[in-house]
Structure 1
Amino acid sequence: MDDLCKSSMKFFADQQLCYADVLPPHEVRARIQVAVLNFLKILNSPDPAISNLPLINRKSSNSRVREGLFTEVSWLFLSHSFSKRSLMRANAAKAFIRVWKVMEMCFEILTEEKQVTQRELFYKLLCDSPDYFSSQLQVNRTIQDVVALLRCSRNSLGIMASSKGLVAGRILFQEPNQEVVDCSACGSSGYAISGDLKLLDSLIMKTDARYIIVVEKHAVFQRLAEDHVFNQIPSILLTAKGYPDIATRFLLHRMSGAFPDLPILALVDWNPAGLAILCTYKFGSIGMGLEAYRYACNVKWLGLRGDDLQLIPEQSLAPLKPRDLQIAKGLTSSVILQENYRDELALMMQSGKRAEIEALYFHGYDYLGKYIAKKIVQANYI
């Protein structure tokens, strides 16, 4: 399992960049078999021992930001630093066994040529190994351990993304051998993004839009779609209903590649969580650091911004919550936060306030479209 960057990443100077391969099922099964054989070999040696599992460290201390040489896209990556799962340490023993259990399950899934969601995998493991799996979070973290051990993508393991994302506006989608879907005719409910990354990769897409607008909140997305803002501002609307899932990020990345001249503009709440959501779309996440470059996009922060507070009545501003302070602390220590984002975050902390997009309804329920159009002109995206 090559720990250096291969030909697809040869344009980057930092050879410590670690990433997960997209592999066919037989190659993933081979990597699992090699891991098992190596483990058994050490157990059967003259000096038997239980070897640690060397995983790529997924902590912020091991994260860096990589900028493309020929694009404006930057992303988080993890360098070649290991963490370990040990059967000999009491606090890590169960986590060690969970890795093997998930690998065993993935081997079965790939052999049967199936795909499962993380939720389906959780219930299967809960029934088969209740002593080791008691929560979805344990399964999610263990999946990332397996990705870090085998250096293959989560989708390559047969684990399908659970999608909550929606698209509306001026784009046509066509799945193989299916009818064309006009997302401008899908109503306020939009086009539901599939969790099958292979299907998303095969979509034929056509658009006459001039912008892609990423909306943090489902309710705001519905308002914009219902008002047909995408006709007033020729655009594609996309939401993941909060923190973005992999499928939504994957489709956005695909659209950015298919339509490279379309600016991607983010409409998020003016609070630390909104900024964190924007950064996830833009740079990826540390937890998915081995795959972040597959989903990163050059997303611009349209609003809400600090200079928009003059549009919002004082009584609509709410005090920052403890969760906001926790997120702000993480963002402040992050390597991804560029200077103008730090300034916005500092203003949030200084004011002690948070503003939600819906506060703009003070000016009328049809004001959002006017606000977006004004911000596009001000930012010179026209």
Structure 2
Amino acid sequence: MESSLSNQFVEIDKLRAQLLEKVEIMADCQHVEEVIGSQEVLTRIENVILGVVTSLSKNEAPVLVLHNRFSWANISFDSAIGLQLTSQSAVTTIRSDCPSSVTKFAHILKILSVIYKLVQSNSYATKRDIYYNNTQLFGSQRNVDCIVDDISCMLKVPRRTLHVLATCKGLISGDLCYLEEDSTRVDCHSSSIAVAVSSNVVGIKNILYIVSSAKFVLIVEKDATFQRLLDDDFCTKLSPCIMITGKGVPDVNSRLMVRKLWDTLHIPVFALVDADPHGIEIMCIYKYGSVSMSFEAHSLTVPSVMWLGLLPSDLRRLRVPEDALIPLTQRDESKLNSLLRRPYVTSQPDWQREMELMQRSKVKAEIQSLTTIAPDFLTSIYLPNKLRYGGWV
């Protein structure tokens, strides 16, 4: 295999050339993310508080207006960007005089005050720090996470500009070195130990400080599969590449990192996920974004992501043993039907055909099912052949 590496990835090299040709077109299709300075963030927070004070001075109950981030009715789709929150999206009113919303009203004001101090002092805190600063008030970490995103959407400010960081669960490995904002050098070349994805991806210094000769980026759905590829030294044995996993549903930092690599290196991005509705949805989050974070689509989505595997059609083609296939549950079928109704499916007819095949066969399979063919089938045969002959959709 090593002797033919120069000829192995002709399809990927062609694909990279096509991507480079499209970079300018894609840039024209997407709005450049507005650079918002600290003073502007402070001003926007002050305007929110001014509105609250003005209402109080008029003996009126203060209200806060939030975009409804969880409704498909507020979402539009652009194939060059992904899912976006529409400018005329429906809103939710958080009233200070309503028993059902007064607690959330208080949470928002408290977190706004925390953010104001962070931005003003040019310091940072994690969402976990904010929660543990007043656990009795916030009740749960999930409340804090949701409110920080609500504030980001309300102020029209990327969350990282609020100086609030999230603890990252993602891992990255492969042919990549970069500099953090504080000039710490991060080397991802280790063949045995992965590096945690940065909690401040935006702070990674660009272009000259991101060094890689990778041919492609491989998104891996599961940590177990990622570790298997790492143990098999996949990133160097086959071809220089970069692997990243969000350990299931990806956190924002993992998505930011994939987007950063795509923007900087202009190389193909492939997804390796289970042949089940959950895996497909995870892949769609990387490619098209999520409804709840659609207000940040421009910096989180990678519309060029390609589905490398595991494809439903692979199960029949490779004759995966019947005892390795799992019947779809009612919940799986519901999720699959939901995916087929998504606005982006019509722009991906090959994906649609694969999902319809799963719908008809009523079975799913994990990536690990390939070990029933041979223990090293994934790394020695499946992935090399897929990448060599263009077996992606």
Shift of 1:380: 6.5
* Partner in structure 1 of residue 341 of structure 2: 333
Does 1:39 find its partner at 2:52? yes
CA distance in structure 2 between the partners assigned to 1:222 and 1:251 by the alignment:
19
* Partner in structure 1 of residue 315 of structure 2: 309
Does 1:173 find its partner at 2:215? no
Does 1:287 find its partner at 2:292? yes
Residue 85 of structure 1 aligns to a residue whose secondary structure is strand
Shift of 1:274: 0.5
Shift of 1:183: 2.3
Code of the aligned partner of 1:302: L
Shift of 1:164: 1.5
Shift of 1:325: 3.8
* Partner in structure 1 of residue 263 of structure 2: 257
Code of the aligned partner of 2:200: D
Code of the aligned partner of 1:26: Q
Does 1:348 find its partner at 2:355? no
Code of the aligned partner of 2:125: V
Deviations 1:257-276 (A, max 9, x none): 1111x211110000011011
> Which segment is superposed worse, 319-328 or 189-198?
319-328
CA distance in structure 1 between the partners assigned to 2:327 and 2:365 by the alignment:
9
Deviations 1:257-300 (A, max 9, x none): 1111x211110000011011101110111111111210211110
Deviations 1:96-152 (A, max 9, x none): 33222221221222233321222222222324x2xxx22222222211221122111
Residue 189 of structure 1 aligns to a residue whose secondary structure is coil
Q: Which of 113, 127, 135 matches 1:118?
A: 127
Structure 2 counterparts to residues 1-382 of structure 1, below 5 A? 22-45=35-58, 48-58=59-69, 59-68=71-80, 74-80=81-87, 81-87=89-95, 88-127=97-136, 129=137, 133-175=138-180, 181-184=186-189, 186-201=190-205, 204-231=209-236, 232-260=238-266, 262-297=267-302, 298-310=304-316, 311=318, 312-337=320-345, 338-369=348-379, 370-379=381-390
Contact 1:85–1:96, Cα closer than 8 Å, also in 2 = no
CA distance in structure 2 between the partners assigned to 1:241 and 1:110 by the alignment:
31
CA distance in structure 2 between the partners assigned to 1:355 and 1:258 by the alignment:
34
* Partner in structure 2 of residue 4 of structure 1: none
CA distance in structure 1 between the partners assigned to 2:334 and 2:125 by the alignment:
33
Shift of 1:51: 4.4
Deviations 1:158-194 (A, max 9, x none): 111221122222223344675754423x233212211
Shift of 1:323: 4.5
CA distance in structure 1 between the partners assigned to 2:47 and 2:109 by the alignment:
13
Code of the aligned partner of 1:301: W
Contact 2:128–2:166, Cα closer than 8 Å, also in 1 = no
Change (3 A) 1:335 1:177: closer
Deviations 1:7-50 (A, max 9, x none): xx99559xxx9x985533332122111111122123223xx422
Contact 2:79–2:344, Cα closer than 8 Å, also in 1 = no
CA distance in structure 2 between the partners assigned to 1:102 and 1:206 by the alignment:
38
Residue 86 of structure 1 aligns to a residue whose secondary structure is strand
CA distance in structure 2 between the partners assigned to 1:301 and 1:226 by the alignment:
23
CA distance in structure 2 between the partners assigned to 1:21 and 1:323 by the alignment:
40
CA distance in structure 2 between the partners assigned to 1:107 and 1:22 by the alignment:
18
CA distance in structure 2 between the partners assigned to 1:331 and 1:343 by the alignment:
12
CA distance in structure 1 between the partners assigned to 2:150 and 2:185 by the alignment:
39
Deviations 1:82-102 (A, max 9, x none): 312232443333223322222
Change (3 A) 1:356 1:119: same
CA distance in structure 1 between the partners assigned to 2:183 and 2:121 by the alignment:
26
Deviations 1:208-229 (A, max 9, x none): 2212111111111111122122
Taking structure 1 as the reference length, the TM-score comes to 0.85
Shift of 1:351: 2.4
Change (3 A) 1:135 1:219: same
Deviations 1:39-88 (A, max 9, x none): 2123223xx422432222211111111233xxxxx311000213122324
> Which segment is superposed worse, 96-105 or 235-244?
96-105
Shift of 1:245: 1.2
> Which segment is superposed worse, 144-153 or 51-60?
51-60
* Partner in structure 1 of residue 4 of structure 2: none
CA distance in structure 2 between the partners assigned to 1:197 and 1:137 by the alignment:
22
Identity %: 29
Taking structure 2 as the reference length, the TM-score comes to 0.82
Contact 2:178–2:205, Cα closer than 8 Å, also in 1 = no
Change (3 A) 1:380 1:316: closer
Higher helix residue share: 2
CA distance in structure 1 between the partners assigned to 2:185 and 2:64 by the alignment:
47
CA distance in structure 1 between the partners assigned to 2:343 and 2:171 by the alignment:
30
